[in-house]
């Protein structure tokens, strides 16, 4: 199964499922009992075009006493009420430089997104967690690529593979001692390029 970027889809707005309204009751996703519609609740979200307010139906389950808002899930509202696009941009910035610099400089200068350092950290770490889950599920990322391998004297395709590792020191919470990590970088060289 290959992963491909998907454009954001507007949540369903048919008469049956209007802006997240799924009827007077729905199945509670936490305990599978009935959750009833309570009211439409407003929420402020951060988008790439600025802060926007959305109003969506809120359901509550009496049994487990938890609330559920189907629209948030359908719209892909992520950590810290960021839209999917804002979340993606924030996490891209978060992996390229420090969370503090991303929040104070990169995101503001590039797209006017004003987030706190801790929000950039949470969004980036959540994206990393999702990526880790995809890797565990052995989902191939990126499109298929055909490599134009060189052929040796016997006509067999061949290449040189290289692997390098570097240690990255880690620091635990509140400066606590933590195990270091090892980053690995692999590359392949074709015989003609190597020469
Ligand atoms: Zn419940």
Residues 115-132 have pLDDT tens digits of 999 999 999 999 999 999
For residue 86, give the nearest of 53, 48, 130, 127 by alpha carbon.
48
Predicted local confidence at residue 59, as pLDDT: 94
Question: Which residue carries 């430089």 as its tokens?
Answer: 97
pTM to 2 decimal places: 0.66
Closest by alpha carbon to 85, among 56, 122, 111?
111
State the pLDDT at residue 123: 94
Q: Give the Å distance between the CA of 25 and the centre of ligand 1.
A: 12
CA 162 to chain centre: 30
133 vs 80, more confident: 133
- Of 22 and 9, the structure prediction assigns the larger pLDDT to 22
Which pLDDT score, from 0 to 100, does residue 64 have?
95
Integer Cα distance of 34 and 26 in angstroms: 6
Ligand 1 centre to CA of 27 (Å) is: 8
| Cα 46 to ligand 1 centroid, rounded to whole Å | 29
pLDDT at 50 over 70: yes
| 37 C-alpha to ligand 1 centroid (Å) | 13
Residue with tokens 């729905």: 26
Token pair 């134009």 is found at 148
91-108 pLDDT tens trace: 999 999 999 999 999 999
CA–centroid distance, 38 to ligand 1, in Å, is 14
């Amino acid at each position: 199964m290959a992963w491909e970027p998907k454009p954001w889809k507007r949540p369903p707005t048919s008469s049956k499922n209007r802006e997240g309204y799924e009827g007077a009751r729905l199945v509670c996703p936490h305990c599978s009992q009935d959750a009833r519609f309570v009211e439409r609740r407003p929420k402020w979200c951060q988008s790439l075009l600025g802060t926007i307010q959305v109003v969506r139906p809120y359901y509550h389950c009496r049994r487990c006493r938890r609330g559920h808002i189907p629209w948030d899930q359908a719209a892909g509202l992520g950590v810290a009420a960021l839209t999917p696009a804002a979340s993606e941009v924030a996490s891209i910035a978060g992996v390229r430089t420090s969370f503090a610099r991303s929040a104070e400089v990169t995101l503001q200068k590039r797209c006017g997104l004003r987030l706190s350092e801790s929000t950039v950290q949470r969004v980036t770490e959540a994206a990393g967690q999702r990526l880790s889950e995809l890797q565990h599920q052995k989902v191939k990322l990126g499109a298929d690529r055909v490599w134009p391998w060189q052929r040796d004297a016997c006509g067999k395709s061949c290449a040189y593979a290289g692997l390098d590792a570097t240690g990255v020191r880690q620091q635990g919470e509140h400066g606590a001692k933590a195990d270091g990590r090892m980053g690995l970088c692999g590359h392949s060289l074709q015989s003609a390029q190597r020469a």
